[in-house]
Each structure stands twice: as C-alpha cells, then as structure tokens.
Amino acid sequence: MRNALHLLAFFSLFVLSTRGDEHTHTYTELEEVVLWMNTVGPYHNRQETYAYFSLPFCVGPKEEISHYHETLGEALQGVELEFSGLDIDFKGDISKTEYCEIDLNEERLHTFIYAVKNHYWYQMYIDDLPIWGIVGEIGEGQENFYLWTHKKFDIGYNGNRIVDVNLTSEAKAELKAGTKIKFTYEVNWKPSTVSFEDRFNKYLDPNFFQHRIHWFSIFNSFMMVIFLVGLVFMILMRTLRKDYARYSKDEEMDDMERDLGDEYGWKQIHGDVFRSPAHPLLFSALIGTGHQLFVVALLVIGLAIVGELYTERGSMVSIGIFIYAATSPLNGYFGGSLYARMGGRRWIRQMLVSAFLLPGLVCTTAFFINFIALYYHASRAISFTIMLSVLSLCTFVILPLTLVGTVLGRNLAGQPNSPCRVNAVPRPIPEKKWFMEPWVIVPLGGVLPFGSIFIEMYFIFTSFWAYKIYYVYGFMLLVVLLLLVVVVCVTIVAAYFLLNAEDYRWQWTSFLAAASTAGYVYLYATYYFFFKTKMYGLFQTSFYFGYMALFSAALGLLCGTVGYVGSKHFVNRIYSTVKID
C-alpha cells in the first residue's frame, strides 16, 4: 500500500503537492510554524547522516503534528524529517524557555562524546529553509566535551511569509556522567526586507561559484573548441582533398597499372567499414542508453536553469528519475533501430539489456552501499518500500516505454542505409605502427575532453561533497555543450587515423575513445577524495567511490555515444562521396 502511495506521490509531483500546510508558505498571525529536525552527522562526511533523534536528544513538549509525507527524491537522499516538538508561532516571540531535559547516563554520555569528537552537526528545516547547527565543542586539551544547549532562532518575516532564519547556539554544558542537561530555546521575530523569491540567496556562494577561475575555465574550453574545430577542419579538408585527388588519378589508370599501384588509405576498406562491430547487442544497448542520457542531461540542466530546483528538497532527484522514465522510448528507438540495421535478430534480449543497463547499474551500486548504510543505521539506507517502488517503476514504466521505442525504431529506422556494401569476407587488418592501435587511441581520446571540463568538475564535486549549493547551471550547460563539441572533434580525428591505417573497427574505437574521458574524471575524483576532502570511514568512502563510479559511467556513456554519432556521420560522409568501383 505504501509502495503504491509512493508511486502515486511520485507521479503527482508536478500536479499536486505532497506536503500539508507548509506548501503555501504563508502564515497568519500566531499560526503554528513547524520546526522539522532532519539529520545529524560528521561535518567532513556530508553523506554520512543519521536521523537527528538517533543521538539521545529529547523532544519538546508539543504533541506530534500531522505526519510528514516525503517524496521519492527525498527518500533517496536520506531526508528524514521528524517533528521537534517545539512550539513556534508566526510572529510570536518566545523568551528563553526550557523544553526538555535529559539524564546523562553512561550510554548517552558516550554517544554525545563520540558525536562531539567527530564534529557532528545537524540540520533542521523551518518553512523549507535549511538551518544548520553544531552539536557541541571540544574543550581545550581535548579532554572536556561540551554540548550546546540553547538554540536561539532569529526569524525574519516579510508580510505573511518567512524569509530568513538564523540559528545561534549558546550555553555550553559540560558532558559529565550523572548530570542532567536542560535544553532551551528562544524565538525572536524580526521584520526583514528580503523578498520571498530571494530568500535562498543567502545560501548561495557567488564568491565561490562565480570566481574568476570559473569564468576562466569556460574561456579555456571555448578556446580549445575553436582551436580543435579549426584543426579538424583543416586536417580533414586538406588530407581528404589530397586523398580524393589521389583516388581519382588512380581511376584514370588501367586495371594493370592499378593492381601494381600504391593504393592505400581509408578507401581500401570500403567493403568492411560498415561491417557490424563486435558484440552488436551490447553496442546498440550502450548507444541507445547514451542517446537517452543525452536528452535527460540537457532537460534536467535546462529545468534547473529555469526552475531554481535547489529551493526544494529532493526535487532534482525526483525530476531526474521522472525524466529518465519518460524518455525511455528514445533508448528503445535508437538502440533498437541500430541493432536492426546491424542485422541483429535477438531484439527482445537487446531491448531488455537496453532498458535495464543503467537502472541495473545504479541499483546494484545502491544495493551494496545500502548494505553498509543499514549496518551504520544511516538515514541514507533505502527502505524496502522505496526499493520496491523503484523496481516497479523499472518494470511497469521504463520497460514498456522502451518496448514501444524499440518496436518503433525497428520498423521506422531498421533498414540498413550505409553508403557501401559490406564484403562477405572480412579483410585482414594490416600491421600498423603502435600508436595507430585502438588501445592507444582510446586512452588518448579522453585527454582533451577531460581538459575542457576538469575545472567544472571541481565545482560540481565541491557542491556535491561539501556544504555548498550548486546553482550556476548556465555554466554547466555551456561546459557540457563545449565538451560535446570537443568529443566529436577528437573522435573524428581518431576515426580518420584508424581508417587510414586500414583498420575498420572504428565503431567501438570511437565510442571508447570518447568514453575514456570518464576514466580521467574518475581518476580526478580519486585525487579529489584524497587531497580536497577530509572524508573518512567505510560508509562515506564507499558512498563516494560508488556514486562517483556511477557518475563516471553515465558520463562515459554520454560522451561515447556523442563521439560515435559524430564519427558515424563523418564516416558516412566520406564514403558516400567517393566513387566505389
């Protein structure tokens, strides 16, 4: 039942709100304002979070209010809102009031000391505005530990809306066995001139995100693109023109001469160049998924630019999942039609691989990390019902939509359309210099694309793994577009060199050469982990490397597909203009 509810909540994302009275964000005089306690966790491990009340904090006197319904996106991000029990009313000042008391027995003492030692801090929400506070403080000499016991809220209002919240932690109490600790709070309401639309601005960090370095990186990629496009254009135009001239001169010679002539280069392999790549099933599934990811990435970034998604918890993840599910027909269409053109017959198997390739990868990673999260009792642990709803989403939405796409793709675009016929017998691939081998071209292919994005990667990593909100999606869109242009240029050059060495295995080579960008991104992520963060512990480490691997895999699929499509157009182009005898 809850499973069905989750799905329902998920699909009504754009239509209805799943939240109660907080939704309108307007309050009347002395109307109840809810303080939600979210999570607590070590400062350096942003993803290692636990429910706030997993520490032995006590609840205020107020009775439980209406239950909070979380969205799928929130559940997946480990949001765990619980009512604080504090009585807060709109525009009602409250002077320092005690709300609860705890007896520090040995067990609680140890838990609190552990939390203070590890720099735990917690997060709360008032009217969807996040508030962070620190649990305690380590005394001089690392021997005494203190807990902050007084929470002072300064809440700014503008008309009937809440526009600003500041929390000040005061009154240290030393953690000693057998003592009682009293918790107090205080609320001061202040008129503020911040407008409701701008109330999230104080969480953004323009000094960081709009730093000169960031602009410089865009400029850098842009110059790289101009340089590369120019280079590709020049090389190809000059070489191709020479090649064409040479080939047409050959045609004027008679057969005898031509047999003896020095024919070499890409034209020689016209009978093999459109031969299906090895493992056509896997290849078409990868390409289909890559097409889908391309559209998902552009749509999500576009929506993020328009919609300021960071103001709503979990909405980015929810929207991402929704768009991924809704674009599944693209996966089927491009994967299925490519497989049909390559003469594949096991199309049902191809469709299944296509549909479950990425969801399967994500779920497997999440599953293993979930094991560790469960062991740690972290709030990131995904509950069984959430898993079920994700699973049913895959089977009842993604799979049928992929099927529709596959059937359409096979019927509308399944006819082979390559400009040259494929010979019955494969031509042997001649010996060539070592640097023309695919295993050299593939890793080299990723260097320039990585060079064009690694500064942006720093900003994206920092906002995901540290306490910063990423909001400059315009930058991201630009960088993605520049990256794709670089990828296409690089793969075209790679494909040209390969074909010129009379090696016709260009499909996998251009896919992998572009996808190797992701390998460098993963290496960079490893560097980032060791030198830019202070994460520790099994949970955070596996979370980091697991999700970075997923991110890199998705990026690799995206780049690989764009690279393959680019070089496919190039190959089609050069072989359709040459006269094949």
Compare residues 155 and 285 and give the one whose CB is closer to ligand NAG.
Answer: 155
Here the tokens at position 463 are: 């906002």
Least Å distance, CB 202 to ligand NAG, is 7
Compare residues 48 and 127 and give the one whose CB is closer to ligand NAG.
Answer: 127
Least Å distance, CB 166 to ligand NAG, is 4
- 250 lies in the site for ligand NAG, by CB under 6 A: no
- 89 lies in the site for ligand NAG, by CB under 6 A: no
- Stretch binding ligand NAG (CB under 6 A), from 154-162, 266-274, 303-311, 473-481: 154-162
- 21 lies in the site for ligand NAG, by CB under 6 A: no
Compare residues 197 and 257 and give the one whose CB is closer to ligand NAG.
Answer: 197
Per-position DSSP letters for 179-200, written without gaps between them:
-EEEEEEEEEEEE----GGGTT
Pairing status of strand 129-134 against strand 120-126: antiparallel
Which residue in the set 166, 195, 210, 395 belongs to the binding site for ligand NAG (CB under 6 A)?
A: 166
Q: Residue 348: CB partners within 8 Å, gap ≥ 6? A: none
Give burial (CB, 10 Å; 0-12/13-18/19+) of 535.
buried
Least Å distance, CB 203 to ligand NAG, is 12
Compare residues 156 and 566 and give the one whose CB is closer to ligand NAG.
Answer: 156
- 154 lies in the site for ligand NAG, by CB under 6 A: yes
Which among 331, 475, 472, 453 is positioned nearest to 404, based on CA atoms? 331
Instruction: Tell me the per-residue interface mask from 400 to 419 with ligand NAG, x by CB under 6 A, - otherwise.
Output: --------------------
Instruction: Tell me the per-residue interface mask from 188 to 217 with ligand NAG, x by CB under 6 A, - otherwise.
Output: --x-x-------------------------
Least Å distance, CB 153 to ligand NAG, is 9
- Stretch binding ligand NAG (CB under 6 A), from 148-156, 351-359, 369-377, 382-390: 148-156
- Stretch binding ligand NAG (CB under 6 A), from 23-31, 153-161, 261-269, 424-432: 153-161
Least Å distance, CB 154 to ligand NAG, is 3
Least Å distance, CB 12 to ligand NAG, is 34
Contact status, residue 44 vs residue 534, Cβ threshold 8 Å? yes
- 186 lies in the site for ligand NAG, by CB under 6 A: no
Compare residues 166 and 526 and give the one whose CB is closer to ligand NAG.
Answer: 166
Here the tokens at position 116 are: 């203070």
* Residue 102: strand, helix, or coil: strand
Neighbour tally for 231: CB within 10 Å:
12
Per-position DSSP letters for 332-374, written without gaps between them:
HHHHHHHHHHTT---HHHHHHHHHHHHHHHHHHHHHHHHHHHH
Least Å distance, CB 164 to ligand NAG, is 4
Return d(Cα 332, Cα 355) in angstroms, integer.
7
Which residue in the set 73, 156, 288, 320 belongs to the binding site for ligand NAG (CB under 6 A)?
A: 156
Return d(Cα 401, Cα 243) in angstroms, integer.
46
Least Å distance, CB 85 to ligand NAG, is 23
Q: Residue 69: CB partners within 8 Å, gap ≥ 6? A: 9, 18, 19
Q: Residue 251: CB partners within 8 Å, gap ≥ 6? A: 579, 581
Instruction: Tell me the per-residue interface mask from 99 to 138 with ligand NAG, x by CB under 6 A, - otherwise.
Output: ----------------------------------------
Helix 2-11 with 315-326: angle, nearest 10 deg: 90
Return d(Cα 89, Cα 29) in angstroms, integer.
8
Least Å distance, CB 156 to ligand NAG, is 3
- 243 lies in the site for ligand NAG, by CB under 6 A: no
Least Å distance, CB 172 to ligand NAG, is 21
Contact status, residue 394 vs residue 83, Cβ threshold 8 Å? no
Compare residues 108 and 152 and give the one whose CB is closer to ligand NAG.
Answer: 152
- Give the binding-site size for ligand NAG (rule: CB under 6 A): 7
Compare residues 191 and 261 and give the one whose CB is closer to ligand NAG.
Answer: 191
- 24 lies in the site for ligand NAG, by CB under 6 A: no
- Stretch binding ligand NAG (CB under 6 A), from 44-52, 99-107, 151-159, 269-277: 151-159
Compare residues 155 and 448 and give the one whose CB is closer to ligand NAG.
Answer: 155
Which residue in the set 87, 89, 128, 164 belongs to the binding site for ligand NAG (CB under 6 A)?
A: 164
Give burial (CB, 10 Å; 0-12/13-18/19+) of 92.
middle
Least Å distance, CB 195 to ligand NAG, is 14
Q: Residue 219: CB partners within 8 Å, gap ≥ 6? A: none
Compare residues 162 and 362 and give the one whose CB is closer to ligand NAG.
Answer: 162
Compare residues 134 and 478 and give the one whose CB is closer to ligand NAG.
Answer: 134
Here the tokens at position 516 are: 């190797």
Compare residues 157 and 450 and give the one whose CB is closer to ligand NAG.
Answer: 157
What is the SS3 assignment for 364-419?
Answer: HHHHHHHHHHHHHCCCCCCCHHHHHHHHHHHHHHHHHHHHHHHHHHHHHHCCCCCC
Compare residues 160 and 192 and give the one whose CB is closer to ligand NAG.
Answer: 192
Compare residues 29 and 262 and give the one whose CB is closer to ligand NAG.
Answer: 29
Return d(Cα 539, Cα 533) in angstroms, integer.
15
Least Å distance, CB 200 to ligand NAG, is 14
Residue corresponding to tokens 């552009």: 298
Q: What angle do CA 361, 362, 365 make, to 5 degrees?
A: 85
Compare residues 164 and 308 and give the one whose CB is closer to ligand NAG.
Answer: 164
Contact status, residue 551 vs residue 320, Cβ threshold 8 Å? no
Which among 136, 105, 133 is positioned nearest to 39, based on CA atoms? 133
Per-position DSSP letters for 481-517, written without gaps between them:
HHHHHHHHHHHHHHHHHHHHTT---HHHHHHHHHHHH
Interface with ligand NAG by CB under 6 A: which residues? 154-156, 164, 166, 190, 192
